[in-house]
Amino acid sequence: MKTVLTVLAFCILYSTRVQSQGDTVIRGVPIHFDYSHNIFPESWRVTPVSGTGGSLERGERQRSKLILSRSLVKYPVHILQRNLRSVFVLRFMKFYNVGYGGTNSDMDIFITNDGNVLGYSDKYIEQTFHHEFSSILFRNHPALFDEPAWKNCNPPGFDYTDPENGVGAIRNNRSSQEIDTALCRLGFLTQYAMSGLENDINTIAQNLFKPADQFWETVDLYPSLTAKTRLLILFYQQLDPVFTETYFRNQ
């Protein structure tokens, strides 16, 4: 299962780990492909999380570099310098004995790539990067995000359903990232978006920077999604004025 672990990001302080210049450096960001136990925060390595991973296959490293090059160039350098310390691309990650496609902690991003044949396409990997980076930006700049206006876009009485902010959705097979038109009418792009506020933000963010087929047509069709998308664009525009709606529609 390829999905995203974000529940830990709010409650874990960055722990000391081995930091190097990485296997490569893209726009000033070190990129790492080798797994060691201390790349994860200490709290992730012990039960019940029991985090583990595996080094990226040699044959996937160049493709990963190209994908991250295309991803990182979409952000002004000052945003990367202030919010992103490193990216780890691994063959697999497991938390709670479940496979994950991406996660983040403090200013580090962790992404899984087990090959295109197994579904880790260029688009999937890039969307995962933007998904995770949006969590870091949201966490680092909360005052720029209009949370009350966002929640007002949801149906009356709606409350995000997963107290574990996504982990429960994963365990219960409610973590689909496929665009669901029935949910779009309610203001949610995917099933996973309903599990937590951050996951809702992440899901739209990944499509702003690397849109799925019919993303913009879907956004334009459903008023609540239109409103949420404009609120998120406003958040990014406060980080840098380059992030206009036109900028995102041209991705």
Tokens standing for residue 181: 């038109």
Q: Where are the domains of the chain?
A: 4-140, 143-249
Residue pLDDT, tens place only, 130-160: 999 999 999 999 999 999 999 999 999 999 9
- Minimum mean pLDDT range among 29-33, 100-104, 165-169: 165-169
pLDDT at residue 21, as a whole number = 58
Which DSSP string corresponds to 118-158?
Answer: GT--HHHHHHHHHHHHHHHHHHH-GGGS-HHHHHTTSPTT-
Where would I find the beta strands (DSSP E) of the chain? 4-5, 24-26, 29-32, 52-55, 86-95, 98-99, 102-105, 108-112
Query: Left if phi > 0, otherwise alpha if psi is -120 to 50, otherwise beta: which for 179?
Result: beta
pLDDT at residue 239, as a whole number = 98
Instruction: Read off the pLDDT band of 164 (50, 70, 90).
Output: low
Across the range 167-177, mean pLDDT stands at 49
Across the range 103-121, mean pLDDT stands at 97
Instruction: Read off the pLDDT band of 178 (50, 70, 90).
Output: confident
Exposed, middle or buried: residue 92 (CB in 10 Å: 0-12, 13-18, 19+)? middle
Residue pLDDT, tens place only, 207-251: 999 999 999 999 999 999 999 999 999 999 999 999 999 999 999
pLDDT at residue 177, as a whole number = 72
pLDDT at residue 162, as a whole number = 56
Q: What angle do CA 81, 82, 86 make, to 5 degrees?
A: 60
Residue pLDDT, tens place only, 12-62: 333 333 344 579 999 999 999 999 999 999 999 999 999 999 999 999 999
Quick check: 22 and 30 in contact, CB under 8 A?
A: yes
Across the range 88-112, mean pLDDT stands at 96
pTM, to two decimals: 0.88
Across the range 89-110, mean pLDDT stands at 96
